[in-house]
Structure 1
């Protein structure tokens, strides 16, 4: 017999995660960060540049997944970043079919300015937190991200076992 799950058990957590994702993805926040960093960058390209800086070289398909846009849009936007000299496109070393974006020195200089602004934001957020609380939050979020990433595909496995 299948157990009945409490579907509301994780509502508060899910609401927090949605709120965090929404806050981090607000266009106004990107515009403010660009302005504060004193850089000249199209707001639509901002999240791509940051992702390439943090996770690159990164395949264009994976980059599209990370920013929630389709491959063709991200491919065009990466081309714009390449035209401005902030990223370079290259073939993946192991699989030449995969087009990757990698940060350039100019791109790194720009993301360093963005990172400096981000540090100021986080310092304001955590100004009243004990360092141990911030460290605990970081550890728990890292664990959550790792475990959450391992669940990809689990939904299909559960549906198959329920049908059998």
Structure 2
């Protein structure tokens, strides 16, 4: 959906400013040069090295989706990196026609140098910004990047082909409770420092919820790959109060940029709007990648408070979205 607000300047001026800022970012980050990040590689090759390093074993088709390249360009890029001794291929045990990509020792060393170069570059720039401005920068760049991704022709073609939809399963699937609890535990251990208490809480409460399915006004959606749940979302709620609770929304890092999170959120909100007047969710301050998805879907921050029950102090945030068909409260 489009985000609509009262503009402080004309739309033409906003477009002109954003184009100018985008061109400047491209120049300052070095994308106009024949090599990037202190390496001898072209920008697309540098990004391929980064993504393969982030997701060892990624398939070429998934790499193409993330980099927004067609299959032939991706194949040429992978072949060049393999010839340079920077990556290796291994046959996919589950699909003889596919192979999985891994960085070689030389590739891992190069990725470390690229990471350090980029970290230093961003760090120097951030020193010129106040902490509050840094948070705003992350939030609005995330919103802008997400808005651009919706116009990407590769993403649109994948959605039209039904690739994402074919992987979405409604309802409980054996093994999904452990998969979803594991996704949450790993992500929040890194992002928020949570430990066994949080993982046990997710697993216990999700199992209790799943035991009650099917149930009116409640549902669970999973994204499955090879029988494993790599993403999830739940609509819980109170039918009498006409209020839905969006819970356990998580997407594995390997699916980043493919539109899986947005597809799950759209299904959950369509279901919630059919049963409830309002939908709310709880999250933690600082999880900007998730926040921009919520805001793009119509959620707004309703309250924030300090939470101490997770093993460390965090700022809990409650977002609320009104059913467009329900009217004002």
- Cα distance 1:6–1:57, how it changes in 2: closer, same or farther (>3 A)? closer
Structure 1 counterpart of 2:297: none
**What is the 5 A alignment of 1:67-82?**
67-82=67-82
Structure 2 counterpart of 1:65: 65
Instruction: Tell me how far apart the structure 2 counterparts of residues 27 and 62 of structure 1 sit (CA, whole Å).
Output: 23
Relative to its length, the structure with more strand (as a share) is 2
Contact 2:49 2:107 in 1 (8 A): yes
Instruction: Tell me how far apart the structure 1 counterparts of residues 2 and 69 of structure 2 sit (CA, whole Å).
Output: 33
TM-score under structure 2 normalisation?
0.35
Relative contact order: is structure 1 or structure 2 higher (C-alpha 8 Å, sep ≥ 6)?
1
TM-score under structure 1 normalisation?
0.64
RMSD (CA atoms): 4.4
Of 32, 37, 54 in structure 2, the residue corresponding to residue 28 of structure 1 is 32
Measured after TM superposition, the shift of residue 53 of structure 1 is 1.5
- Cα distance 1:53–1:10, how it changes in 2: closer, same or farther (>3 A)? farther
Q: What 5-or-longer segments of structure 2 have no aligned partner?
A: 9-14, 147-249, 252-258, 275-329
**CA displacement 1:106-155 (0-9 Å, x = unmatched):** 001111111111011111221144557757876996xx986864113749
Q: What 5-or-longer segments of structure 1 have no aligned partner?
A: none
Q: Does residue 8 of structure 1 match 2:4? A: yes
Q: Does residue 151 of structure 1 match 2:262? A: yes
- Cα distance 1:30–1:58, how it changes in 2: closer, same or farther (>3 A)? farther
Count of matched residue positions in the alignment of Structure 1 and Structure 2? 147
Measured after TM superposition, the shift of residue 48 of structure 1 is 1.4
Relative to its length, the structure with more helix (as a share) is 1
Structure whose alpha-carbon radius of gyration is higher? 2
**CA displacement 1:1-22 (0-9 Å, x = unmatched):** xxxx87524999xx8x9967x9
Structure 2 counterpart of 1:110: 110
1:28 alignment partner, SS class: coil
Q: Does residue 92 of structure 1 match 2:85? A: no
